[in-house]
Amino acid sequence: MTPSSGREWVTTEDTEPPQGQGSAIDVARPDAESRLRQTEAELRFRIGLEALVTAMSTRLFGVRLDELGAVVEAALGELCTYFDVDRAYALKVDQDFVFDLNVEWWGPDVPQQATPVSELPIEAQRFWFRTLLSGQVVHLPDVDDAGDAAPGALEALQHDGVKSILFLPLPVRGTTVGFIGLEARRSKCSWSDESIALMRTVGELFVSAVERSRAEQALAITAGELEQRNEELERSNRELEQFASIVSHDLKSPLQVIRGFVELLGREIDKVMPPETQTEAHTYVDAAVRGTDRMDRLIDDLLVYSRTGQRSANFVSVDLDEVMDEVLADSATLVNECEASITVEPLPAVAGDRTQLRQLLQNLINNAVKFRRMDVAAVVRVTGADDGDRWTIRVEDNGIGVEPRHREDIFGMFCRAHTGDRHGSGIGLAVCARVVTNHNGHIWVEDGPDGGSAFCFTLAKCPEVEIG
């Protein structure tokens, strides 16, 4: 055999050992067996410790923040039992480098005497900060024989009855946030490099569990607050829509009365007024009628805006080709009056709310026709382009265009790039922006190919749906 000493001995059953060498063989065999038993014991200890760390990892994974203290305390107790030591604790350190006892475990029948770090002499506190905050491990197998490595700190440990100590920093992204300590008080204890490495893993498990639990708790709180705000927003939107409907009715009723009396007055002008004042009076009446018409349209537009205030609970597949057919049918009168030409290329199916998408396209088509140049016929082109996981829809015209300085403002309420009766109330594009936002898309305006405008917006795709 080959003993650990490196010597080689060859023996057989029929051969007697050389004179004077029998004692060497007899001595070498027990030494080798002793070393083998020690190696086996160390291997079993290491395997058992690895199994314990694995079990801790399983228990710490997914633990709630309110359960974390008890789980960590139990884990510290298991470590103490495994290493046959008497006390374990987890300390955290705040931004001012003040230690705070977080969780600790004491062995049975062990006097619970421990000097807080904050009560140590200044030189002892400096030792702990200088050593531990630099990420070093403090391993003192024999506190009584540690020399002058930690003046003041050793005296405190000895006073508390500590014979051996292992102190490990807990780092998070390069910053020490706490420590784990193990103390032997009944008898001395030494930790191997492998055990210390595994203890570092335990510390990492503790830190990960704390960070994960805090993150999950914060996420749960945020989710709860978000749900509450969504409920409040939905309630507010319902109240706003109801309010808008009531106000719309209450405003339009007297408005119709005003318009009716103004028109009656206009019909009586020629009968009751002298000829020289009739023309001026008709001008006033016409202006009043136009004013009531604008107010009527404004009330309708506000009502539409309020009804597009929230996203539908469930989106469905919407065929934009079908929606455009309906829009063009509704806009036929306006298109014919303006002698406009509208070309629609094949459009895709998208995920969305059909009613809101119809309102979106209706507003854009009407704007493209109304905001035309008076010297040329309106030409409108609608296209759809595949942009990966989304579709981009373009409504191009050869109209009066939008100056760059107005291209963000025009999507706000009552914002208009142009003035005049034919240029609307300033709500139509706000409705468009709200619809696109409800569909998690983006809307913008850029120069059109023929000097007009190109209004573009994105919408989410429907699975397995192709354009055309």
* The domain over range 23-213 is classified in CATH as 3.30.450.40: yes
Q: Which position has the higher pLDDT, 400 or 420? A: 400
> Which H/E stretch holds residue 344?
strand 341-344
Beta-carbon neighbour count of residue 354 at 10 Å? 17
pLDDT at 6: 31
Out of 26-30, 47-51, 97-101, 386-390, which region has the weakest mean confidence (pLDDT)?
Answer: 97-101
Distance from C-alpha of 96 to C-alpha of 254, rounded to nearest angstrom = 69
> What is the per-residue pLDDT across 31-78, written as a single tens digit (0 to 9) for each?
777 777 766 666 776 676 677 677 666 666 766 767 777 877 888 888
CB-CB contact of 467 with 386 (8 Å): yes
Token pair for 104 = 């600790």
> Which H/E stretch holds residue 147?
none
Q: Could you please state the CATH topology (level 3) that the domain comprising 316-460 is classified under.
A: Heat Shock Protein 90 (3.30.565)
Average pLDDT over residues 202-214: 72
Write the single-letter amino acid at 140.
Answer: L
Closest C-alpha to 162, from 188, 139, 128, 137: 188
Packing angle, helices 65-83 and 22-60, rounded to 10: 170
Confidence band of 97 (pLDDT split at 50, 70, 90): very low
DSSP secondary structure letter of residue 163: S
CB-CB contact of 468 with 346 (8 Å): yes
Could you tell me whether strands 453-460 and 175-184 are parallel, antiparallel, or unpaired per DSSP bridges?
A: unpaired
Longest dimension (CA), the chain: 157
Packing angle, helices 428-438 and 354-370, rounded to 10: 150
Q: Where are the domains of the chain?
A: 23-213, 229-307, 316-460
Would you give the end-to-end CA distance of the chain in angstroms?
84
Residues near 366 by beta carbon (within 8 Å), at least 6 away in sequence: 331, 334, 428
Distance from C-alpha of 186 to C-alpha of 162, rounded to nearest angstrom = 8
Please give the model's pTM, rounded to 2 decimal places: 0.46
